[in-house]
Structure 1
Amino acid sequence: MRAMVLTTKGAPLQPVERPDPVPGAGEIRVRVEACAVCRTDLHVVDGDLPDPHLPLVPGHEIVGIVEALGEGVTTHAIGRRVGIPWLGGTCGCCSYCESDRENLCDEPVFTGYTRDGGFATHVVARADYAFALDGFDDPVAVAPLMCAGLIGWRSLKMAGPARRIGIYGFGAAAHIIAQVCRYQGREVYAFTRDGDEAAQTMALSLGAVWAGGSLEAPPVVLDAAIIFAPVGDLVPAALKAVAKGGRVVCGGIYMSDIPRFPYRLLWEERQVLSVANLTRADAVEFLALAPVAGVKTTTTVYPLERANEALADLRAGRFQGAAVLVP
């Protein structure tokens, strides 16, 4: 197999050849067709997230074909297309797992962080954390759904029944979840980096009723806001924009420090919530909803060997939608 490997935090990924991995009990080996590049991959590579399992193959928005089955696997068949997400395994016995909150598991496994991921030609995953993608015929198009879509969906659920929703940071997750909002009859107000006319144009094309700079005041009071940009300064800005009782959902795994802000912005029962990982139930729900809602992803394709370029372009905001690596 070929892989792009992180050996030192903050260093470029290195091309490596290895023997094809052998699935253990309860695991499957997948031939990777596509792996989207997530901002979380940047946080892993740049060292924002502590203690990655080095040397590491990043990547957790994986789509591929089952090529081999480990002992005891009966839920997947060779030749089936599956998706592999960020949450790669849980203990199943802690208080969180036993209360249907496996996303908060005390001993989780994360694809592309604590175990090798999809910036490679092959990957091994737990069979019970790989999702059948029957009916999804384009692996490049579906790859961003495996994290940007799933975390976007969990963030939207946590926002509650809000009709007017502000989305801060219009990247991969936002461009997917805006389409779900449109399908559900919600109004989207898109906040982008100042001067990013391309992102604002994209947001409007996907159904947003307004698009402006990240610190602009929206034309109406919002019921809720979702922050996908990893910028702590946006939390008080979003609180200022939402109505009494409104929610501000922080949808990323990493965010810069939130600055001090006056209590009056939080008062009147406004809430600040964070999203942690996903549950398998989230994935089942969203993968059933996405085709019905007509979700279409915008992608920029890179060969596997250009993974460093894809990461650099994501860091600099040089494309709209999602980058996808294809071996």
Structure 2
Amino acid sequence: MSTIRSVAVAEPSGKLQVVESEAVAPAHGQVRIAVEACGVCHTDSHFVDNHLPGLAFPVTPGHEIAGRIAEVGPGVQRWAVGDRVAVGWFGGHCTYCDPCRRGDFVHCERAQVPGLAYPGGYAESVTVPANALARIPDELTAVEAAPLACAGVTTFAALRRSQARPGDLVAVLGLGGLGHLGVQFAASMGFDTAVIARGEEKASLARELGARHYIDSTRQDVAAELTALGGASAVLATAANADAMAVAVDGLKANGELLVVGIDAAPMRLSPLQLITNSRTVHGHPSGDAMDVEDTLAFAAQQGVRAWVEEAPLAEAAAAYDRMMRNEARFRMVLTTGA
């Protein structure tokens, strides 16, 4: 096999360094992808800082992968060399655990997350299970597709599975890497879209992304403002702030849903009365399986939804990662290999 460049972290909280290794030939049911682009996600810090069970160092992060199939392993059907594909947080399923037997692949008990189950996408080549693949439409470049495989599908799938219907008020809490995509998806789905964020200076950005309403949480009562608009059928909580999520619950109408996709380890402080009186629900959403990613890519291609990204070559992965973790990027860093 050929030698490839990848980015590895030798020890917890260590520095990201470019290393050379042999490309991994695909085994039965696998394909090898020539990586063209890989998004840098905030969740990558959980890999770098050893916050996930089962990590074995050195670690190569990266779960927003886009490229072309370079090699097909035995037993793989429907995929061929040259196919454009993406792989997200959902990096494969076992097919035989109880959730898989029920078709609930995203909750596979042996879920294969890139960077954890196998080396991730900060590399020129990655070998993955074929059941992790999503087809990239011709309208999307690899750089455009990569962030949609994680950040995109997380927001798209949560909105699509909500009880909200076109014309309903849907609010997006937070205007970062997840939120800026959530606003675009919500507006494209026909929702009366509101954004809840900190600071009046973000109002113009919210409207540029497709929102009709803006609520500045630093000076306005979020629940009161949502109620004045008729109450939200859903609040897509992308901000990693449990307190801000809890505040939005009282702005839900009857049968409204808080859709939780932002990660915060702090408890969410809610009273049962807030939920019972108006039959409200709090619903956590993981990213989505391979077909969810493929549907996300197709919808984004049709509707013009795009992540706002800054590109950096693979050799500058350490600087790109630091820029992302310091929240200096707007809104996604994407590593490119030049392939």
User: Partners in 2 of 1:27 and 1:208 — Cα distance?
Assistant: 41
Give matches, 1:91-170, under 5 Å.
Answer: 91-162=94-165, 163-170=168-175
| Aligned-residue identity in percent | 28
Q: Is the 8 A contact 1:159 1:226 kept in 2?
A: no
Secondary structure of the corresponding residue to residue 296 of structure 1: coil
User: Partners in 2 of 1:266 and 1:299 — Cα distance?
Assistant: 38
Q: Is the 8 A contact 2:48 2:59 kept in 1?
A: no
Secondary structure of the corresponding residue to residue 57 of structure 2: coil
Q: Which residue of 2 aligns with 1:206?
A: 209
Q: Is the 8 A contact 2:87 2:290 kept in 1?
A: no
Residue 217 of structure 1 and its aligned partner are, at CA, apart by 2.9
Residue 135 of structure 1 and its aligned partner are, at CA, apart by 1.2
Q: Which residue of 2 aligns with 1:275?
A: 285
Q: Which residue of 1 aligns with 2:328?
A: 318
TM-score (norm 2): 0.88
Q: Which residue of 2 aligns with 1:264?
A: 273
User: Partners in 1 of 2:104 and 2:10 — Cα distance?
Assistant: 33
Residue 95 of structure 1 and its aligned partner are, at CA, apart by 1.9
Are 2:39 and 1:36 equivalent residues in the alignment?
Answer: yes
Instruction: Give the AA of the match of 2:261.
Output: G
Q: Which residue of 2 aligns with 1:65?
A: 68
RMSD: 2.0
Q: Which residue of 1 aligns with 2:196?
A: 191
Q: Which residue of 1 aligns with 2:23?
A: 20
Q: Structure 1, unaligned stretches of length 5 or more?
A: none
User: Partners in 2 of 1:78 and 1:31 — Cα distance?
Assistant: 10
TM-score (norm 1): 0.91
Instruction: Give the AA of the match of 2:221.
Output: A
Which whole-Å deviations, capped at 9, do the CAs of 1:4-59 have from their partners, x for residues lacking one?
Answer: 11222222222211112211111111111100111221233234433324222111
Equivalenced residues, count: 324
Instruction: Give the AA of the match of 1:186.
Output: F
Residue 147 of structure 1 and its aligned partner are, at CA, apart by 0.9
Q: Structure 2, unaligned stretches of length 5 or more?
A: none
User: Partners in 2 of 1:137 and 1:103 — Cα distance?
Assistant: 24
Q: Which residue of 1 aligns with 2:240?
A: 230
Q: Is the 8 A contact 2:92 2:112 kept in 1?
A: yes
Greater mean deviation of Cα atoms: 275-284 or 109-118: 275-284
Q: 1:11 to 1:211 in 2, by over 3 A?
A: farther
Which whole-Å deviations, capped at 9, do the CAs of 1:99-141 have from their partners, x for residues lacking one?
Answer: 2211111111111232211101111111221122241451111
Q: Which residue of 1 aligns with 2:264?
A: 255
Q: Which residue of 1 aligns with 2:83?
A: 80
Runs of 4+, deviation exceeding 4 Å? none
Q: Is the 8 A contact 1:235 1:258 kept in 2?
A: no
Q: Is the 8 A contact 1:34 1:140 kept in 2?
A: yes
Q: Is the 8 A contact 2:25 2:127 kept in 1?
A: yes
Residue 277 of structure 1 and its aligned partner are, at CA, apart by 3.4
Q: Is the 8 A contact 1:236 1:265 kept in 2?
A: no
Secondary structure of the corresponding residue to residue 266 of structure 1: helix
Q: Is the 8 A contact 1:53 1:115 kept in 2?
A: no
Secondary structure of the corresponding residue to residue 52 of structure 2: coil
Q: Is the 8 A contact 2:257 2:283 kept in 1?
A: yes
Q: Which residue of 1 aligns with 2:221?
A: 217
Q: Is the 8 A contact 1:152 1:176 kept in 2?
A: yes
User: Partners in 1 of 2:24 and 2:292 — Cα distance?
Assistant: 29
